[in-house]
Amino acid sequence: MNRALPEAIAAIFQQVKARNPGEDEFHQAVKEVIESLGPVLVKYPEFAEHKIIERICEPERQIIFRVPWQDDRGEVQINRGFRVEFNSALGPYKGGLRFHPSVYLGIVKFLGFEQVFKNALTGMPIGGGKGGADFDPKGRSEGEIMRFCQSFMTELHRHIGEYTDVPAGDIGVGGREIGYLFGQYKRLTNRYESGVLTGKGIGWGGSLVRTEATGYGAVYFVREMLKVRRDSLEGKICVVSGSGNVAIYTMEKLAEMGAKVIACSDSQGVVIDEQGIDLDLVKQIKEVERRRIADYATRRQGARYLPGGNIWSVPCQVAMPSATQNEINGKDARTLVRNGCIAVAEGANMPTTPEGIRVFVDAGIAFGPGKAANAGGVATSALEMQQNASRDSWTFEFTERKLDSIMTGIHAATWETAEEFGAPGNYVVGANITGFIRVARAMLALGLI
């Protein structure tokens, strides 16, 4: 990775910071991509001439709206909704919705920006966007969640569509919320437009494997990273942060490939289970009962719970951050490396700080950045859109084979690009450059957009 930014790129970065004050996560995401691009501008001067980087850093459209709703006590609540339609050079905007109290414009823009390159990496015809609300679903009743989703969609529906913008889930938005959102869209538009949202349920337009896709895909990516090092997941000790959608299916596929997951977490603490995490129990607690991960230790003999603990201090060979942004800092990364970690793949978006990434890259361990490693989710969303467009539904095996081949392809492309641009084995450089070139070429071809 280029540590000192070339002058032209440093100037662009200053401009981005000045134009988007206070949006720290967005600045971080932009810097991480554009600091890889120096050699690209040398090879393709037309990208600089046509100001592609400057244009890519400016969202095509940003929508911010009021979401009023009534809680169970009849009290009026007001949240803020967002949809940032970042780039549609390759296809309709595509990216999830996040419901979490920390959501503000800077988070949505960082996620949307990342999404542009991730979606390009899949090789599928999808642009990038992201959205959400500063709504906290925790402790809310079924009825409150439904009314919030309905109010959110009452505004959002006029901005989306299967050829325009296709949202999906993210933190706090799973199958239940997608159901309520789709129901309200259908009611408002009088169209059964399956292709307008992905992550739908099986039986009403959803795709098999979508639920599992991000986690499974991240594990395929690790398998490929280890393969080039003539190694495999068999018998590896793993740690997976989070216990939501991505974490659960990461753990499932790791176990299927013969690895042993000994720790997972939620925002309140960490569970360690040296016998190997019992995934049925995690699913029961998190997917069915929607309770805290602390319950795991009370129901499973031999398991320990560390309230507020740091999962990265648990020694492991493979670490898969699958909770949220900036969850591995430089110190955590150094601890992981010191404890013998050989591979890290980001199931979450931007979970490693820039310093953490430097530690991993300098240590020469296999590091799969989120843009590449967690692209399986959006890739399978695009497969869901294909099935919706052809009014077809594919089998689990067929869809999973497609996911596997997409992830294997992303690994190969990022590996080869890193080598071509003089950074062999550096998937950060490989992913940023591969994604950028695909979007940049399309933008050039489409004129001044």
User: Using CB under 6 A as the criterion, which residues of the chain lie in contact with ligand NDP when the complex forms?
Assistant: 169-172, 174, 214, 242-247, 266-268, 322-324, 347-349, 374, 377
C-beta closer to ligand NDP: residue 104 or 363: 104
C-beta closer to ligand NDP: residue 37 or 111: 111
Q: Which residue is nearest to ligand NDP (CB)?
A: 244
DSSP string for residues in 91-153: SSEEEEEEE-TT--HHHHHHHHHHHHHHHHHHTSS--EEEEEES---TT--HHHHHHHHHHHH
Residue in 94, 109, 118, 130 annotated catalytic: 130
Instruction: Kindly state the smallest distance separating residue 216's Cβ from ligand NDP, in Å.
Output: 11
Q: Which residues of 390-411 are buried (b: 16+ CB within 10 A; e: fewer)?
A: eeeebeeeebbebbbebbeebb
C-beta closer to ligand NDP: residue 374 or 388: 374
The CA distance from 181 to 153, in Å, is: 6
Structure tokens given for 215: 């986690």
C-alpha distances out from residue 1 to 313, 359, 419, 430, Å? 26, 12, 12, 10
Instruction: Kindly state the smallest distance separating residue 304's Cβ from ligand NDP, in Å.
Output: 18
Q: How many CA atoms lie within 13 A of 414 on its CB side?
A: 35
Sheet holding 366-368, edge to edge: 304-307, 269-272, 260-266, 237-240, 318-320, 343-345, 366-368
Instruction: Kindly state the smallest distance separating residue 357's Cβ from ligand NDP, in Å.
Output: 16
Instruction: Kindly state the smallest distance separating residue 6's Cβ from ligand NDP, in Å.
Output: 30
C-beta closer to ligand NDP: residue 128 or 244: 244
Instruction: Kindly state the smallest distance separating residue 138's Cβ from ligand NDP, in Å.
Output: 7
C-beta closer to ligand NDP: residue 207 or 324: 324
The one-letter amino acid at 197 = L
Is 130 an annotated catalytic residue?
yes
Residue positions counted in the chain: 449
Residues marked as catalytic: 130
